Amino acid sequence: MSIKVLLDESEIPRQWYNLAADLPTPMQPPIGPDGSPITPDKLAPVFPMNLIEQEVCQDRWVDIPEEILEILYRWRPSPLRRAVFLERALGTPARIYYKDESVSPAGSHKPNTAVAQAWYNKQFGIEHLTTETGAGQWGSALSFACALVGLSCKVFMVRISFDQKPYRRLMMETWGGTCIASPSRETQAGRSILEQDPDTPGSLGIAISEAIEAAVSDPNGKTRYSLGSVLNHVMLHQTIIGLETKKQLEKIGEKKVDVVIGCAGGGSNYAGLAFPFMADKIAGADIEIIPTEPSSCPTLTRGPFAYDYGDTVGMTPLLPMHTLGHTFVPPPIHAGGLRYHGIAPLVSQSVIEGLATPRAMHQLECYQAAVLFARTEGVIPAPETSHAIACAIQEAEKAKQEGKERTILFNFSGHGLMDLVGYEKYFEGKLDDYPLPEELMNKSLEALKDLPKPKAAKSGRW
């Protein structure tokens, strides 16, 4: 029995899958502060037009340019692995598979879209990209992609992470990116915040403001902004994960997957694996699809579906999504990539359609699962990824109780080599489940009702 399934470069999927084409109900458009739908031209100073076209695209399949594939070949197709050693440890009759996205040079799934976005920007004549980063995963992935494509990259990194996580900053710099503590003196937004509070730890919202300002204020128009999750084109680029997985399962004669699992913060690694399987589900296949999230930031399981800002300060358009309110500050769980108040509209819409069943996971159960995984399968998971592993273990235990031979698939979105401090605290008994601050959440949910509402019902997203 083979414990990993590889594909040749010649077997890589040559098109991305666009779930928007298959969703039973059309997506609702993002809206501006006046409630009107955002038109593509309004986004032109921020994103290149070729990516805006992908953002609004309704085609089921989108060709992947050959030049992008040539870069992805460095680590793609990524391995699909069978977790035989974990299965044995659990004594489960289930077969557990995981798609290993940790093999990219940046250590996660993020480069799948970083490379595509950098390439489309380069094609459009752009020379510089800006972005923000919290813990540093996305900033390092974009720096990596820009190095390979030939763009300069400026990353505004939240000050407290900049100070506390020098390794992520060093990855960006090694790839030639410029990493700046945010708030910075480089932007109007940064300067005005520093004037009020010179010692601010910064926030993702401030960093987004700075990155967008730095992009749109380039007098030569050669700079654009790049976002690592949430948007439709990001989900699109990530579907290569699930498309490869389907080919790999087919290759080993695994005809039916019963459960598909991915951890969801902004939603991109989950969507990347799950959307191609969701297409089968829409066509009638019996598959349970589970986005997992922290119980202390339960966007999909407890947030309403509403229009809300994508960032914490309200700079972005309002997006139709499950949200805990853009002012919600989740507890400091170590899975920083899952500490997001909202989620990708495509992910939200598919939950509303009943195509996926979100599940919230407690931090301690996730670390316990991660350690079991490391000691059986050998790879140390990122704290975000542990939310998918813990759920896969729950499903494997269920299969054991029921005596059923189920096929469980999850996305191993990234390794944890840059996140070992969380493990240290776990071993020292210093972690708990960080219960959801209900009052704080209720307050931020309450604020939702004062936000702009769409002017008129629309069919079609844009």
Give, for 320, the enclosing helix (H) or strand (E): strand 318-322
Q: Is 125 one of the binding residues for a copy of itself (CB under 8 A)?
A: no
| Least CB distance to a copy of itself at residue 146 (A) | 10
Options 3-11, 206-214, 232-240, 430-438: segment touching a copy of itself (CB under 8 A): 3-11
Q: Is 88 one of the binding residues for a copy of itself (CB under 8 A)?
A: no
Largest CA distance in the chain: 65
Residue 379 CA to residue 277 CA, distance in Å, equals 26
Q: Could you tell me where the beta strands, DSSP code E, fall in 121-236?
A: 128-133, 152-158, 178-182, 223-225
Residue 53 CA to residue 136 CA, distance in Å, equals 28
| Least CB distance to a copy of itself at residue 376 (A) | 8
Q: Is the peptide bond before 40 cis (omega within 30 degrees of 0)?
A: no
- Read out DSSP for 63-91? EPPHHHHHHHTTT-SPPEEE-HHHHHHHT
Q: Is 105 one of the binding residues for a copy of itself (CB under 8 A)?
A: yes
SS3 assignment, position 94:
coil
Opening angle at CA 250, ends 359 and 292, nearest 5:
10
320 versus 416: smaller Cβ distance to a copy of itself: 416
Q: Kindly tell me the burial class for residue 312, based on how many C-beta atoms sit within 10 Å of its own C-beta (0-12, 13-18, 19 or more).
A: buried
Which of 40, 417, 442, 453 lies at the binding interface for a copy of itself (CB under 8 A)? 417
Options 18-26, 169-177, 197-205, 300-308: segment touching a copy of itself (CB under 8 A): 169-177
Options 17-25, 167-175, 265-273, 333-341: segment touching a copy of itself (CB under 8 A): 167-175
Residues of span 145-164 touching a copy of itself by CB under 8 A: 147-148
Residues of span 176-205 touching a copy of itself by CB under 8 A: 176
2 versus 217: smaller Cβ distance to a copy of itself: 2
| Least CB distance to a copy of itself at residue 106 (A) | 8
| Least CB distance to a copy of itself at residue 297 (A) | 24
Residue 257 CA to residue 406 CA, distance in Å, equals 8
| Least CB distance to a copy of itself at residue 384 (A) | 16
Which of 418, 441, 445, 451 lies at the binding interface for a copy of itself (CB under 8 A)? 418
| Least CB distance to a copy of itself at residue 97 (A) | 14
Q: Is 431 one of the binding residues for a copy of itself (CB under 8 A)?
A: no
Options 60-68, 70-78, 220-228, 287-295: segment touching a copy of itself (CB under 8 A): 70-78
Position 340, amino acid: Y
Q: Where are the alpha helices (DSSP H) in 44-187?
A: 49-56, 66-72, 84-90, 111-123, 137-149, 159-164, 166-174
Which of 119, 144, 328, 412 lies at the binding interface for a copy of itself (CB under 8 A)? 144
Q: Is 73 one of the binding residues for a copy of itself (CB under 8 A)?
A: yes
74 versus 453: smaller Cβ distance to a copy of itself: 74
Residue 154 CA to residue 137 CA, distance in Å, equals 14
Which of 98, 138, 175, 275 lies at the binding interface for a copy of itself (CB under 8 A)? 175
- Read out DSSP for 376-416? HT-PPBPTTHHHHHHHHHHHHHHHHHHT---EEEEEE-BB-
Residue/partner pairs of 375-379 with CB below 8 Å, 24 or more apart: 376/83, 376/85, 376/86, 376/88, 376/89, 377/81, 377/83, 377/85, 377/86, 378/85, 379/100, 379/102, 379/412, 379/415
44 versus 148: smaller Cβ distance to a copy of itself: 148
How many residues sit in the footprint of a copy of itself (CB under 8 A)? 41
21 versus 170: smaller Cβ distance to a copy of itself: 170
Residues of span 328-347 touching a copy of itself by CB under 8 A: none
SS3 assignment, position 290:
strand
Residue 459 CA to residue 375 CA, distance in Å, equals 51
Residue 239 CA to residue 60 CA, distance in Å, equals 12
Options 91-99, 154-162, 165-173, 229-237: segment touching a copy of itself (CB under 8 A): 165-173
Q: Is 74 one of the binding residues for a copy of itself (CB under 8 A)?
A: yes
Options 117-125, 143-151, 321-329, 438-446: segment touching a copy of itself (CB under 8 A): 143-151
In angstroms, how far is CA 284 from the centroid of its own chain? Answer: 27
Q: Is 174 one of the binding residues for a copy of itself (CB under 8 A)?
A: yes
Q: Is 423 one of the binding residues for a copy of itself (CB under 8 A)?
A: yes
Residues of span 379-408 touching a copy of itself by CB under 8 A: 379-380
Q: What are the beta bridge partners of residue 387?
A: none
List of residues contacting a copy of itself (CB under 8 A)? 2-4, 6, 8-9, 70, 73-74, 81, 85, 103, 105, 107, 144, 147-148, 166-167, 170-171, 173-176, 371, 374-380, 416-418, 420-421, 423-424, 427
